[in-house]
A = this chain, B = another copy of it.
């Protein structure tokens, strides 16, 4: 739930240029795949100072497509961005419907037809079994565009379009392909067209501040905003949105240049009140911070994981360049593997159980030793749905970060959620523990800032 980003405050900042996002495709609508284009486009629009007023997902029915375009026009948006429906099959209708909506005739663009044919040539030679005539006719369909539209060169095989209305009254429509990679690349081209810039003329240029906190519940931020208002921090010129993401709280603030001092005051208030929890003042993620701490040192890390079974190693290598500091990991699912690979003493498992702080510490030390790393991360827990006991219910996870000699920071938590929630959240906890060890503030930080996760809700 967002906090403070309500409409009254938003409007007091300015009357922003609004846009609508229309995602098409039965497979998106029916939940077979989940849409990533809507949120991505929304973020890009916001960066341009354009408010995404709505995202609408409809199937491949012409009536629904047209109704959605008209609804957005009625809502007063200056721009509509569509994704999908540019393919070669009969149910790919977006270009045609948008042409109708904009009051523009559909015409064959011969140059474009040749350009698409050129793109398809190597593809056709690699798939000798394909039906060449079907492909040629599909090619032609993709080259039929609304007259007067700006054509965006294909990234895959489908061209994009920027379609201004024929009468100037309706919104301009930007037509982009559905595959995210194609959409991302084509978006840049679309933004730089005259038709696009004309449509968003007058958009306020905003600044953005993003900070991240770890170790408090989201509800506490609502209290902090109230307290800031009571302390006369000038919040009225800031549009603040908070969100819980992978166990962290992200506070995003949008403001005009003139509100820079207000944002600085808000940031100071936040930093003062949540000293131990505010880990990022520049929007950097814990992953980026860990990467930067490791890149800035000669330290290396390794992991030994049970319940997360490789997710921690995978997360540590998500960023390119991680091979400079990540040496490797041990996935020790069975007790035998914990002993033989990570060197955990069988008597520890016997005495404390495989899910215990003691075994987590032995895993962390074992990872550092076996991989020859400066630091090891150990994770062992019960991801469920089975395997829980009264003493160690599902969600119990033990973590440790160690050097080759000794455990440096160890925690036992109970995490909420499903098997996959618990596994994912565990990697967030481990990243924060690693960050703390790397920053060297283990002694200074109170343990409660980690223990708080116990009651956190996803």
Contact = CB atoms under 8 A, between A and B. Distances in A.
A7 B60 contact: yes
A343 interface: no
Interface in A307-362: 308-314, 316-318, 320-323, 326-334, 336-337, 340-341
Q: How many copies does the complex hold?
A: 2
A88 B219 contact: yes
Contacts of A90: 6
Contact of A57 (B36, B54, B223, B323): B54
A243 B333 contact: no
A202 interface: no
Main SS of chain A's interface residues? mixed
Given A1-B92, A56-B56, A181 B64 contact: no
Nearest to A315: B310
A337 to B, nearest CB: 4
A54 B56 contact: yes
A241 B126 contact: no
A211 to B, nearest CB: 13
Interface stretch (A27-35, A107-115, A399-407): A27-35
Interface string A34-57: 111011111100100000111111
A58 interface: yes
B328 A331 contact: yes
A320 B71 contact: no
A2 B31 contact: no
A419 interface: yes
Interface residues of A, number: 122
Interface in A240-282: 241-243, 245, 250, 252
Given A6-B91, A25-B2, A417-B181, A39 B31 contact: yes
Contacts of A64: 53-54, 75
A61 B455 contact: no
A5 interface: yes
Nearest to A75: B67
Given A88-B222, A309-B326, 13 more contacts: A1-B89, A2-B60, A29-B55, A30-B43, A30-B52, A88-B219, A181-B421, A318-B419, A320-B386, A321-B386, A327-B337, A328-B332, A328-B334
Interface of A: 1-7, 10, 25-36, 38-43, 46, 52-64, 67-68, 71, 74-75, 84-85, 87-92, 123, 126-127, 129-131, 134, 156, 178-181, 217, 219-220, 222-223, 226, 241-243, 245, 250, 252, 303, 305, 308-314, 316-318, 320-323, 326-334, 336-337, 340-341, 370-372, 384-386, 417-421, 423, 454-455, 457-458
